[in-house]
Chain A
Amino acid sequence: MALIELRGLTRIYQSGDTEFAALREVDLDVDSGEFVAVTGASGSGKSTLMNIIGCLDRPTRGRYRLAGRDVAHLSRVELARVRNEFIGFVFQSFHLLPRTSAVENVELPMIYAKVAPRERRQRALEALERVGLAERAGHQPSQLSGGQQQRVAIARAIVTRPRLVLADEPTGNLDTRTSHDIMLLLSGLRASGITILYVTHEADIAAFAARRLVLRDGVIVTDARQTPTDPHPELCS
Chain B
Amino acid sequence: MIAFGETLRLAQRALRRNKMRSFLTALGIIIGVAAVICMVSIGEGAKSRIRTQIEGAGTNVILVFSGSSSSGGMRGGMGSQPTITFDDLRAIQTEVPNVRAAAPLSRTQSPVISESATWTTTVYGTTPEYFVIRNWSTLRGSSLSASDQAGAAKNAVIGKTVAEKLFGVGTDPIGQVIRIRNAPYIVVGLLESKGQGGMGEDQDDAIFVPLSTFSARIQGGLSNYVRGPIYVSAVTTEAIDTVRRDIAALLRERHRLGPDEEDDFSTMSMAEMTGMLTSAMQTLTTLLASIAFVSLLVGGIGVMNIMLVSVTERTREIGIRMAVGAQPADIMAQFLIEALTLAAIGGAIGVVLGIGIGELLAARFGWVSETRTDIILLSLAVSATVGVVFGLYPARKAARLDPIEALRYE
Interfacial residues, chain A to chain B (CB-CB below 8 A):
51, 54, 56-57, 76-77, 80-81, 83-85, 89, 91, 95-100, 108-109, 111-114, 156, 160
Contacts and interface: CB of A to CB of B under 8 A. Distances in A.
B325 A81 contact: yes
A97 B325 contact: no
Nearest to A86: B325
B322 interface: yes
A81 B327 contact: yes
Nearest to A105: B320
B403 interface: yes
B10 interface: yes
B328 A77 contact: yes
Contacts of B403: 56
Most A CB contacts (10 A, CB to CB) among B10, B13, B323, B404 go to B323
Given A111-B2, A112-B2, 19 more contacts: A51-B404, A56-B407, A76-B327, A80-B322, A80-B328, A81-B325, A81-B327, A84-B324, A91-B407, A95-B316, A95-B320, A97-B317, A97-B320, A100-B17, A108-B321, A111-B6, A112-B325, A113-B325, A160-B325
Interface SS of B by simple majority: helix
Interface in B241-296: none
B325 A85 contact: yes
A77 B329 contact: yes
Interface string B8-20: 0010010001000
B12 to A, nearest CB: 13
Contacts of B323: 54, 56, 83, 89, 95
B324 A89 contact: yes
Contacts of B328: 76-77, 80
A77 B3 CA distance: 16
Contacts of A57: 404
B330 interface: yes
A109 B330 CA distance: 12
17 contacts: A56-B322, A77-B328, A80-B326, A80-B327, A85-B325, A89-B324, A95-B316, A95-B320, A100-B13, A108-B324, A111-B2, A111-B6, A112-B2, A112-B324, A114-B2, A114-B6, A160-B325
